[in-house]
Amino acid sequence: MKTIRITACVLLAALFLTVMVSCGGGNDPSLVGEWVAEVEGMEMTFAFNEDGTGTMGSMGVNFETTYKVVDGDTVEITMNMMGETETTEFTYKIEGDKLSLTADGETLVFTKK
């Protein structure tokens, strides 16, 4: 009987830890892929990889990025540009093949490639 209680406690602890890890600061699988937008006549791309890395590109220049979803509708993107690191929080929304990224009151709409 004591063995069953210990086993049950271990299983409950493992389940609790799994739920806690999966709820915190992960990435949204629907972000994964390459997204493109036209900004003032120029093409801009964001690529989001499953592992939280990616790239941002425009005019043939790509910058390395990392990202993480900090809550249900906010993604934090860190860009490495010419030795400088800049982190920006964006509110995001995905509807079909459209990704809207909003920061500082401006919204860019990307289409999934």
What residues does each domain of the chain span?
Answer: 26-112
Cα 91 to Cα 71: distance, rounded to the nearest angstrom: 10
Q: Report the pLDDT value the prediction gives residue 27, as an integer from 0 to 100.
A: 79
pLDDT tens, the chain, 113 aa long: 433 333 332 332 222 322 223 333 467 899 999 999 998 899 999 999 999 999 999 999 999 999 999 988 999 999 988 888 999 999 999 999 999 999 999 999 999 99
pLDDT on residue 80: 87
The predicted model scores a pTM of 0.73
Which pLDDT does position 16 carry in this prediction? 30
Sequential DSSP letters for 31-67: G-EEEEEEETTEEEEEEE-TTSEEEEEETTEEEEEEE
CATH of 26-112, one of 2.60.40.10, 2.40.128.50, 2.60.130.10, 3.40.50.2300: 2.40.128.50
